[in-house]
């Protein structure tokens, strides 16, 4: 069966711009990491479960982002297309070769969900546009739309649903993920309680226009990512892994740098 690559991403910068109910609104530059990806494929079922995922996951099936994407897709399809999708998943499981670490700020779960949606769209000839798939994906996770569009680099805003391509060459990134399992809600809660300092619209526009290489040349790790300080406070062992010249992706725990710097 055809293999589909679900790439990781890093946040070149991640700044808070405000709040929306319980969510934080952001401006962030997402960049794809070409050297790190999961591989997904449809494989004949082994266990006869209603929905089968074959791979190394710590969560049960119904908590998996791929299953959530399946349910979200079913909800928007007409009766005939939904029946086709159910028939496909009655005969095939989703095989996942995991390489992107979980709880790492690299978007692995979101990338898997996006890739699954695109696989279903292709195999079943559903004819959904990228915008339509993105509308399904945002119900699964804030980072999913970026992976749906498949851009090398993009400015992502709102709570993740606004994805604007940023044309630039991919940087050759080296990613390191320490064995520290981070809770994104915990980091955001601590940010709101102790570090809340949203940037203004002028700074948002400046960041959106600045190349990723220049951002990394001009900013330190804590300047580039508003979640770095709260993550360090919540998970003090992170300090043992930080190295000068590295940057923090998402809410962690991964660090990255440009290889030739």
Known binding residue 230? Answer is no
Q: Is the peptide bond before 225 cis (omega within 30 degrees of 0)?
A: no
Contacts within 8 Å (CB) and 24+ apart, 44-47: 44/91, 44/92, 44/93, 45/90, 45/91, 45/92, 45/93, 46/93, 47/93
How many angstroms separate the CA atoms of 108 and 114, rounded? Answer: 10
Task: Confirm whether residue 108 is marked as ligand binding.
Answer: yes
**How far is 34 from 5, CA to CA, in rounded Å?**
10
Q: Which residues are catalytic?
A: 9, 143
The answer on whether 110 is annotated among ligand-binding residues is: yes
Instruction: Determine if residue 198 is labeled as part of a ligand binding site.
Output: no
| Alpha-carbon torsion (182, 183, 184, 188), positive or negative | negative
137 is in an annotated binding site: no
DSSP code at position 160: T
Tell me: is residue 107 an annotated ligand-binding position: yes
Q: 103: annotated binding-site residue?
A: yes
* Phi/psi-derived region of residue 66, left when phi > 0, alpha when psi is between -120 and 50, beta in every other case: alpha
Per the CB < 8 A criterion, the answer to whether 39 and 108 are in contact is no
**What span, in angstroms and rounded, lies between the C-alpha atoms of 126 and 41?**
18
Residues tagged in the binding site annotation for ATP? 101-111
Residues tagged in the binding site annotation? 101-111
């Amino acid at each position: 069966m055809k293999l589909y690559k679900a790439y990781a991403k890093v946040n070149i910068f991640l700044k808070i711009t405000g709040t929306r109910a319980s969510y934080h609104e952001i401006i962030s530059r997402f960049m794809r990491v070409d050297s790190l990806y999961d591989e997904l494929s449809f494989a004949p079922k082994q266990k006869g479960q209603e929905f089968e995922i074959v791979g190394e996951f710590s969560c049960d099936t119904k908590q998996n982002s791929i299953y959530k994407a399946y349910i979200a897709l079913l909800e928007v399809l007409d009766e005939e297309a939904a029946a086709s999708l159910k028939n496909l998943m009655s005969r095939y499981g989703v095989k996942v070769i995991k390489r992107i670490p979980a709880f790492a700020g690299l978007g692995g779960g979101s990338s898997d969900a996006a890739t699954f949606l695109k696989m279903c769209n292709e195999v079943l000839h559903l004819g959904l546009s990228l915008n339509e798939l993105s509308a399904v994906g945002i119900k699964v996770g804030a980072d999913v739309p970026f992976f749906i569009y498949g851009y090398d680099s993009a400015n992502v805003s709102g709570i993740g649903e606004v994805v604007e391509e940023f044309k630039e060459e991919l940087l050759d990134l080296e990613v390191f993920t320490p064995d520290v399992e981070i809770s994104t809600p915990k980091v955001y809660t601590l940010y709101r309680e102790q570090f809340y300092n949203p940037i203004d619209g002028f700074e948002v526009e400046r960041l959106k226009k600045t190349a990723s290489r220049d951002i990394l040349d001009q900013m330190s790790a804590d300047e580039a990512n508003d979640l770095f300080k709260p993550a360090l406070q919540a998970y003090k062992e992170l300090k043992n892994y930080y190295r000068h010249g590295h940057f923090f992706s998402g809410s962690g725990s991964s660090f990255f740098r440009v290889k030739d710097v």
